[in-house]
Amino acid sequence: MHTLSPPYSNALSYLHRGSEPTFRVVPTRITVKCGYGFESSSFSQGVGSTRTDWQRACAILSSKVDSQNEDSNPAAAGENIAAVNGHKSAVTDLNLVHVSGEKTLPPKPLTISDLSPAPMHGSQLRVAYQGVPGAYSEAAAGKAYPNGEAIPCDQFEVAFQAVELWIADRAVLPVENSLGGSIHRNYDLLLRHRLHIVGEVQLPVHHCLLALPGVRSEYLTRVISHPQALAQCEHTLTKLGLNVAREAVDDTAGAAEFVATNNLRDTAAIASARAADLYGLQILADGIQDDPNNVTRFVMLAREPIIPRTDRPFKTSIVFAHDKGTSVLFKVLSAFAFRNISLTKIESRPHRNRPIRIVDDDKNEGTAKHFEYMFYVDFEASMAEVRAQNALAEVQEFTSFLRVLGSYPMDMTPWSPSASPSSRGE
């Protein structure tokens, strides 16, 4: 049996690394004038320290995301950092805009063109999530880091890059739902980016039907929300007698914001109770999810891994592939079964570098075409345990690619299916 060799031996270096990353100070303090009318950050002297003050600061990120380059060079992130810290940006107007007398609105989502200064030593963690304020991802970020500053991002990839470029210290992103299944986009992004999973959060999903004040359900002509939220409330909407069109939008809280911003009196949104409070909507129906056991699992991402331990339940996530297809899967699973290691998830995704493998037939009857896959596996063991290290050493013998995404504490907190996130203080 072989031991793990580079780069897979990095998985065992958890034992020698610190539990938290060492913050660095970006040499350049960058702020800009922008369309949001944000004020300067709390990280500058003489500026307010409230969350609203911080959210009123933004800057220009000089690089753009090439969403088509699924297998981009890892050096790309370094180029982006050099473009910011090396003053290569073409932006010339870096003056702050002071806004007074304006109504305070929820912070706008962070986009790929936004940037804020890196954290100072001792500052609280900044946590990126996808969506707008009131989203379930914001509730998960608050549960994972109660004292953190939540940073809304308009795309999943923006949240990944926010951590890589030191805009945020952590990201909290969904990877699977008990009813809707896996969020495939984030599994693909875990492979593209070099962040580490440092924890998980399981959040009960409590859907509400929201509308403008004074609107009655019989006057509704359509309901909008995220596609999974619409699917999770399909039967309940029918039982309520709502013969309405159902339209999908990017996220649940965004649907509530859209109804409120456009004063749509014929449209309702499916979102959280917190979204109703934020955007001034009334709750027409509470707890409209078809299944009360509706839970979404989120992972917490950081630039550096944490030290695995054995004094509490840990989970480890890996991804692997093999040049000869899926025939190796049984051998890989046997490595865990032999050591009595329980798997909590196995997910296959297309191998983007080589989606199809051509095999010539020995009888000259043509060629066979096989789809190639990457396999994501979660198992209940810490990388500090010898059995987990030996299992991965054996897995390496059967695979052509193996990467440890993270070894982290399991979320063991109790939860009540009938309780909404807002009532739980999340």
Residues acting as catalytic residues: 296, 298
Q: Bridge-partner residues for 357, per DSSP? A: 370
DSSP codes, 240-258: TT---EEEE-S-HHHHHHH
Give CA–CA dist 208/284, Å, rounded: 7
**Residue whose token pair is 């049996």:** 1
CA contacts within 13 A on the Cβ side of 170 = 29
Give CA–CA dist 118/116, Å, rounded: 7
Burial of 339 (0-12, 13-18, 19+ CB in 10 A): middle
Burial of 77 (0-12, 13-18, 19+ CB in 10 A): middle
Beta strands in 9-82 (DSSP E): 59-60
Whether the bond into 313 is cis, omega within 30 of 0: no
Return the H-helix or E-strand segment holding 356. strand 356-360
Burial of 416 (0-12, 13-18, 19+ CB in 10 A): exposed
> Quick one: residue 134, left, alpha or beta (phi over 0 = left, psi -120 to 50 = alpha)?
left
- Give me Rg for the CA atoms of the chain: 23
Token pair belonging to 340: 């009595």
Query: How many C-beta atoms surround the C-beta of residue 387 within 10 A?
Result: 14
Query: Of 58, 81, 253, 264, nearest to 166 (Cα)?
Result: 81
**Residue whose token pair is 């043509």:** 366
Return the H-helix or E-strand segment holding 138. helix 136-144
Give CA–CA dist 321/372, Å, rounded: 8
Give CA–CA dist 308/287, Å, rounded: 38
Give CA–CA dist 403/381, Å, rounded: 16
Give CA–CA dist 78/164, Å, rounded: 9
Give CA–CA dist 33/54, Å, rounded: 14
